[in-house]
Amino acid sequence: MGVGKHIASETFTVGGYQWAIYFYPDGKNPEDNSAYVSVFIALASEGTDVRALFELTLLDQSPNGKHKVHSHFDRSLESGPYTLKYRGSM
């Protein structure tokens, strides 16, 4: 698709707020050099200082199961919620 181009999920409601998932198959930023995928959860409704705990996981559905998924997402759920400041925050 190209760096910076994404596929968005339908919006869904959790905790009284609308959310969406954005998937960038060639990475979100040019420095990704298409070597990484990027996945974000975004606040899709109006809100300020919305606190949320979440975890995003990519599953290998290939029949041989040999593809590894690496993450540069080092923050654990135990470290506390994220604060999303405005609609569109990822």
Find out whether 43 and 88 touch, Cβ atoms under 8 Å.
yes
Q: Would 45 be classed as within a structural domain? A: yes
Reduce the DSSP state of residue 50 to 3 states and report it. Answer: strand
How many domains would you assign to the chain? 1
pLDDT for res 66 = 63
Rg (CA), the chain: 15
Q: Would 89 be classed as within a structural domain? A: no
pLDDT for res 49 = 84
CA–CA gap between residue 48 and residue 66 (Å, rounded) = 42
Which of these, 82, 12, 26, 32, lies nearest to 90 by C-alpha position?
82
Q: Would 82 be classed as within a structural domain? A: no
The pTM (predicted TM-score) of the whole model is 0.75
Q: Would 36 be classed as within a structural domain? A: yes
Record the tokens describing residue 72, joined without a space: 């540069």
β-strands 38-43, 50-52: how paired? Answer: unpaired
Q: Would 65 be classed as within a structural domain? A: yes
CA–CA gap between residue 28 and residue 59 (Å, rounded) = 20
Q: Would 44 be classed as within a structural domain? A: yes
The whole domain housing 64 covers 7-76
pLDDT for res 55 = 77
Q: Would 59 be classed as within a structural domain? A: yes
Q: Would 70 be classed as within a structural domain? A: yes
- 16-73 tens-digit pLDDT: 999 999 999 888 888 867 777 888 889 999 877 888 888 777 777 777 766 666 565 5
